[in-house]
Amino acid sequence: MNALDFPFCGETLTALPSGALHWAARGMLVVSDLHLGKSERIARRGGTLLPPYDSEETLTRLTEDIRSLSPGTVLCLGDSFDDLLAADALTEGHRSLIASLQAGRRWLWLEGNHDPGPVDLGGTHLAELVDGTLTFRHIAEASTQPGEVSGHYHPKARMRRASLPCFLTDGKRLILPAYGAYTGGLDWTTPVLRGLFADKAIAYLTGRQVLAVPVPRAA
C-alpha cells in the first residue's frame, strides 16, 4: 500500500497515500475534510461551475481504503460536507454508497466549521472524540495536551515541482491533510499553521508512496 507507520504519543499510526490515517490497534480509519458536495455548493452560490464529480471521486477513494483495511470504525474529522445543504443535495446513489460503507461498523461524524450540525446519513455525531491517549477534533487548539489529532487546515507541502497534501506532526499533535477532491490547501510554512508545531516537525507527504520530510520553519 506504500503507507508509512510512525509513533505518536505511545501509539503506532499509519499514514496512507490517500491522506487517510489508520490506527490499527483500534481498527480505526480516520479521514478529514471530505467536503462532499463542494461543486454543488459553489454552483448554488453563483460561483464558478466545476465538473460535479468531486463527491464521486472522494467516495471512490474512501471505498477503496475501507475495502483494503476493513476498519471496525470510520472517524470523519469534520467538514465532511461543504455545508449542510450540500449534504441534503447528495444523490441517492451517493447516499446509498455511504449507507453501504457504514453497514457493520461504527461510523463517527465529528462536527466541523462547514457542517456544525447533524446530517441525516446514519452514524453518530460528536463534537470531539477521546480514545485512550488521543483526542480527535476538527480544529487544533492553540494550547492542548499531547495526543491531539485534527484537520481543518488542509496542509500542503510546496516543493519545487509539486504541491502535495501532507500530514504534519511534532510528536505531540497531528494534523491530517484534506481527503476530499477539489479541496485547496495551506502551505506548510504559513505561520498560522507552522506555529502550531515545535521547530522540529515532520511532514508525511501523500502520493504514490508516503514520504517523511522535515518541515521548514515558518516563512
Q: pLDDT by residue (tens digit) across 56-70?
A: 889 999 999 999 999
Beta bridge partners of 36: 81
- Model pLDDT, residue 98: 93
Angstrom CA distances, 208 to 6, 95, 113, 152, stand at 18, 29, 30, 23
Pairing of strands 106-110, 73-76: parallel
The domain segmentation of the chain, as residue ranges, is 4-214
- The answer to whether the CB of 121 falls within 8 A of the CB of 37 is no
Q: Point out the residues of the chain with pLDDT beneath 50.
A: 44, 49
- The answer to whether the CB of 88 falls within 8 A of the CB of 95 is no
- Model pLDDT, residue 49: 47
Beta bridge partners of 12: 7
How far apart, in whole angstroms, are the C-alpha atoms of residue 193 and residue 75?
Answer: 23
**Contact residues for 141 (Cβ-Cβ < 8 A; gap 6+):** 148
Neighbours of 131 (CB within 10 A): 15
pTM of the model: 0.91
Secondary structure class of 95 (helix, strand, coil): helix
How far apart, in whole angstroms, are the C-alpha atoms of residue 18 and residue 40?
Answer: 23
CA atoms within 13 A on the CB side of 165: 27
Give one DSSP letter per residue of 12-41, joined into a string.
EEEE-TTS-EEEGGGTEEEE----BTHHHH
4-214: CATH number: 3.60.21
How far apart, in whole angstroms, are the C-alpha atoms of residue 24 and residue 71?
Answer: 8
> How far from chain centre, in Å, is Cα 59?
13
- Model pLDDT, residue 84: 63
How far apart, in whole angstroms, are the C-alpha atoms of residue 71 and residue 53?
Answer: 26
Angstrom CA distances, 186 to 48, 196, 215, stand at 21, 13, 13
What does the radius of gyration of the chain's CA atoms come to, in whole angstroms? Answer: 16
